Amino acid sequence: MPHGHTPLPYKIAVVNLATYSVPGVHCAHCSAAITAEVSKVAGVEGVDVDLEGKVVSVQGAGMSDAEIRGAIAEAGYEVAA
C-alpha cells in the first residue's frame, strides 16, 4: 500500500487527439484546405487527413472542439461526426 500522497513522477503534457468524420474530403486540395484552416486553431499541433477514410485527425494540447469544427466548416466542409 502506498503511504500518503504520491505525486506524479513527471508532468505530463495534456495532449489531445480528436478525429472528425468529414465525408466531403476527396483529394489533396481538400486535405490542404482543411489542414490550413485547422492548423490556425489555438493548441493544434498536427493535422492529418485520411482521404480514404474521410477522417480528419487533429493532435494538440488544450484545443477547442468547437473551434476545430468551425475551422473545418471555414474550409468549406461539413463534419459528420
> Residue 62 in contact with residue 18, Cβ under 8 Å?
no
Residue 34 within binding range of Cu ion, rule CB under 5 A: no
Binding segment for Cu ion among 21-29, 37-45, 51-59, 66-74 (CB under 5 A)?
Answer: 21-29
Residue 29 within binding range of Cu ion, rule CB under 5 A: yes
Q: Applying CB under 5 A, which of residues 8, 12, 13, 27 lies at the interface with Cu ion?
A: 27
CA distances in angstroms from 52 to 47, 63, 64, 74, listed in the order given: 15, 25, 25, 22
Alpha-carbon gap, residue 49 to 20, rounded angstroms: 10
Question: CB of residue 63 vs Cu ion: minimum separation in angstroms?
Answer: 24
Q: What angle do CA 74, 75, 80 make, to 5 degrees?
A: 85
Q: Applying CB under 5 A, which of residues 30, 41, 44, 47 lies at the interface with Cu ion?
A: 30
Which residue ranges make up the site for Cu ion (CB under 5 A)? Answer: 26-27, 29-30
